[in-house]
């Protein structure tokens, strides 16, 4: 892992499913690691790191329960469904622009701007600031262990935190009808979010609110292009879009691994002793291809039944934004296939590259023509 730390890797579906729900594997390393081993004490500004990381994905009950309760209502399937028409309109506008050219680079022209526009509108992020978030997000999720990459991450972390503190101050003085304003004013059982928690929460919602959808659309379209029979089946049967999205999440999902966990105590897990404080990584992409769980696991089948994939995790940290990502993926891919019957890859498949890092499964580019 970055920084030279070792980690256990859990790869089989049954083991991954259990580990994701096991309360002995916790998300907040401060609970088990000595101060000298904490990443926040190895970066130039520990306070900035603490702000950025004070969110649901790095917390455990009861903090996790309280933080999640403050945003749960905004991401229920019923609330997200209200965004369908807007998502459809954004999608059509982007496809109209691309249609005039007969080709596009699918990641930067479609898969990124669609979810970034949606989550920014939900949160209340000004349009002129959104491209900057793409660079910051890329630095966070694609960083490896070399010093140059880490320095870039630290710089982005500091800039992002400064921006979010300004945004929080603006919304404190002039609240609007957006989620950031509601979070600034939110209370749950008498609790309000501190400024540190607000920065961490908005950071998480912005990164997670677009990053996984970018990769669902990009990886999903590539998988369909590589399986023209499945692409044509979906084009001829648009009602298959929901099971198709679930299969694309399983087959070529947006994340390689879940975010890290640490053993709260010595844990005997599947015959292996994992010591207190040791890091555990769950390989979602491997678990979703486990032949002991999925029949013909390496085959793409958009009609697959009983598709209990782990692309969104499991347990209390199950992805809050799953309903939004599903809806965006359904609308985007269905519209793309219907609008462009001759959709095809516009480069040598061997030339395609992926972003670095152990977290996201993300194409750098995906040139297509139609």
Long-range contacts of 131-135 (CB under 8 A, 24+ apart): 132/163, 133/160, 133/206, 133/210
For the chain, which residues make up each domain, given as ranges?
Answer: 2-369
pLDDT at 154: 75
Whole-angstrom CA distances from 298 to 54, 303, 320, 346 are 37, 14, 28, 25
The DSSP secondary structure of 194-236, one letter per residue, reads: -HHHHHHHHHHHHHHHHHHHHHHHHHHHHHHHH-HHHHHHHHH
Question: CA-CA-CA-CA torsion for 217, 16, 204, 149, nearest 10 degrees?
Answer: -80
β 279-282/7-10 pair status: parallel
Per-residue pLDDT at 187: 60
List the CATH code of the domain at 2-369. Answer: 1.10.630.10
The pair of structure tokens assigned to 118 is: 């949606």
pLDDT at site 23: 96
Per-residue tokens: 175: 């609240």
Can you give the pLDDT at residue 156? 81
User: What confidence score (pLDDT) does residue 188 get?
Assistant: 56
Q: Which two tokens stand for residue 214?
A: 């970018």
Q: What is the pLDDT of residue 8?
A: 97
pLDDT at 213: 96
Would you call 121 exposed, middle or buried from its count of C-beta atoms within 10 A (0-12, 13-18, 19+)?
A: middle
Token digits for 126? Answer: 């000004």
Q: Which tokens belong to 281?
A: 């990584």
What pLDDT, on the 0 to 100 scale, is given for residue 150? 65
Q: Render each residue's pLDDT in the chain as its tens digit; 370 residues.
A: 766 779 999 999 999 999 999 999 999 988 888 776 766 555 555 666 666 677 888 899 999 998 898 888 888 899 999 999 999 999 999 999 999 999 999 999 999 999 999 999 999 988 888 878 777 877 776 655 556 666 777 778 788 888 888 999 999 899 999 999 988 887 655 667 888 888 888 888 888 888 899 999 999 999 999 999 999 999 999 999 999 999 999 999 999 999 999 999 999 999 999 999 999 999 999 999 999 999 999 999 999 998 999 999 999 999 999 999 999 999 999 999 999 999 999 999 999 999 988 889 999 999 999 9
The per-residue pLDDT for 137 is: 76
Q: Tell me what pLDDT residue 146 has.
A: 59
């Amino acid at each position: 892992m970055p920084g030279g730390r070792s980690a256990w890797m859990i790869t089989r579906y049954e083991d991954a499913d259990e580990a994701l729900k096991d309360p002995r594997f916790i998300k907040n390393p401060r609970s088990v690691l000595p101060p000298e081993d904490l990443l926040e004490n190895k970066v130039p500004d520990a306070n900035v790191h603490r702000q950025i990381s004070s969110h649901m994905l790095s917390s455990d009950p009861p903090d996790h329960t309280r933080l999640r309760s403050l945003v749960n209502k905004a991401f229920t399937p019923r609330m997200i469904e209200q965004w369908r028409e807007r998502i459809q309109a954004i999608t059509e506008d982007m496809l109209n622009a691309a249609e005039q050219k007969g080709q596009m680079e699918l990641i930067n022209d479609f898969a990124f701007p669609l979810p970034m526009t949606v989550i920014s509108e939900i949160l209340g992020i000004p349009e002129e600031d959104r491209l900057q978030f793409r660079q910051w997000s890329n630095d966070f999720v694609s960083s490896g262990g070399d010093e140059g990459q880490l320095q870039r991450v630290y710089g982005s972390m500091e800039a992002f935190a400064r921006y979010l503190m300004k945004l929080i101050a603006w919304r404190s003085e002039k609240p609007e009808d957006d989620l950031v304003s509601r979070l600034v004013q939110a209370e749950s059982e008498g609790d309000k979010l501190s400024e540190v928690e607000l920065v961490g929460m908005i950071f998480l919602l912005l990164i997670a609110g677009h990053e996984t959808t970018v990769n669902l659309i990009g990886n999903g379209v590539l998988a369909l292009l590589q399986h023209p029979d499945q692409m044509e089946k979906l084009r001829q049967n648009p009602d298959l879009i929901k099971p198709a999205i679930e299969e694309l999440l399983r087959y070529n999902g947006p994340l390689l691994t879940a975010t890290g966990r640490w053993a709260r105590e010595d844990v005997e897990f599947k015959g292996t002793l994992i010591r207190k404080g040791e890091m555990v990584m769950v390989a979602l992409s491997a678990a979703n291809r486990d032949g002991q769980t999925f029949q013909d696991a390496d085959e793409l089948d958009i009609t697959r039944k009983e598709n209990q994939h782990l692309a969104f995790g499991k347990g209390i940290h199950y992805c809050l934004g799953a309903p939004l990502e599903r809806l965006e993926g359904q609308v985007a891919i269905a519209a793309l296939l219907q609008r462009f019957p001759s959709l095809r890859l516009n480069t040598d498949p061997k030339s395609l590259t992926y972003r670095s890092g152990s977290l996201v499964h993300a194409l750098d580019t995906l040139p297509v023509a139609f």
